[in-house]
Amino acid sequence: MPRNLLLVPIVFSLLGCQVSTVMQSVPSGYGPACYVGNAALSDLLKQQQRYLGSSSSARSQQLAQAVKNNDKALEALLLTSPKASAKQFAQGSKLLASLPLYPEADCTADRYLRLHLSQLELRQQQEHQIQQLDNQLQQQHAQIAELKQKIEALTDLEQEITRQRKDL
């Protein structure tokens, strides 16, 4: 037990040395390490706009090119566009959420992508609510149909009873 207590300060001092060497290896004055450079934002937005205005085959080619180039930010933007299928949208949302985006003001493109992701999350919540309301509406339509059948059955029964009374 006493040996373990002696190891704790040694381990912490070694960890402290590691952290200080890592901090020293990053040159100062370079700013944040943005995932997407600010200069690339306008190109991303132009490619997204071209994607939205193109035909289905051109969209699939552009998406395939983004995948081939391993451009995860562009791929996520294209997959989460309004022209994307539900499967693509889910895939793009997961991809965008997995990107290491830097939230600092110096990283405009990363901040844009984070904002885009938060908008996607809101859109997903709204779509989920719409789906729930649609399910409730379908259930209510089924209840209405069932009640109509019961009313028709009661009306038929009432007419049958009235005919039987007249026959007596």
pLDDT tens digits, 27-79 = 334 456 788 888 888 888 888 888 888 888 888 888 888 888 888 888 888 88
Chain mean pLDDT for the chain: 80
CA dist 148 and 129 (Å) reads: 28
Q: What's residue 52's pLDDT?
A: 86
- Residue 132 CA to residue 129 CA, distance in Å, equals 5
Cα–Cα distance, 162 to 164 (Å, whole number): 5
Instruction: State pLDDT tens for residues 83-113.
Output: 788 888 888 888 888 888 888 888 888 888 8
Residue 15 has pLDDT above 70, yes or no: no
Whole-model pTM over 0.75: no
Predicted confidence at residue 28, as pLDDT, reads 38
